[in-house]
Amino acid sequence: MAYTSRDEMARAMLRCVEEYPHTAITAQSLSDKLHTGDNPPVDLVVRSSGMYRLSDFLLWQCHEDTQIQIADAMWPEFGAWEPFMRLYDLYQAR
């Protein structure tokens, strides 16, 4: 099955309703039910292909502090060190 952020959010919402039928759904309860519920917040998203959009990827998990970097290379052209170099650049800038 292909991943879409909207599908992930809908499934998380259904899980919240099923597990807590008489409780208000909060941002935290929804976050807890996502595939990434146990993970820390997203710091960096690297978008390949030079496109300036998220393409329905991690829409809920990205927040006001998430850095989004656009790379002109297509994903298969990414070298093994490309993501690590972008992380290094991000943390050097902080």
Note the pLDDT tens digit of each residue in 2-49: 789 999 999 999 999 999 999 999 999 999 999 999 999 898 888 888
Question: In terms of Cα–Cα distance, which of 2, 17, 1 is closest to 56?
Answer: 2
Q: Do residue 85 and residue 61 come from a single domain?
A: yes
Q: Do residue 25 and residue 70 come from a single domain?
A: no
User: What pLDDT was estimated at residue 75?
Assistant: 78
Q: Do residue 46 and residue 72 come from a single domain?
A: yes
Domain containing residue 21: 1-39
Q: Do residue 10 and residue 47 come from a single domain?
A: no
Own/partner long-range contacts of 33-38 (Cβ < 8 Å, ≥24 apart): 34/8, 34/9, 34/60, 34/61, 35/8, 36/61
**What pTM was computed for the model?**
0.74
> How many structural domains does the chain have?
2
Q: Do residue 76 and residue 48 come from a single domain?
A: yes
Instruction: Give the pLDDT band of residue 1 (cuts 50, 70, 90).
Output: low
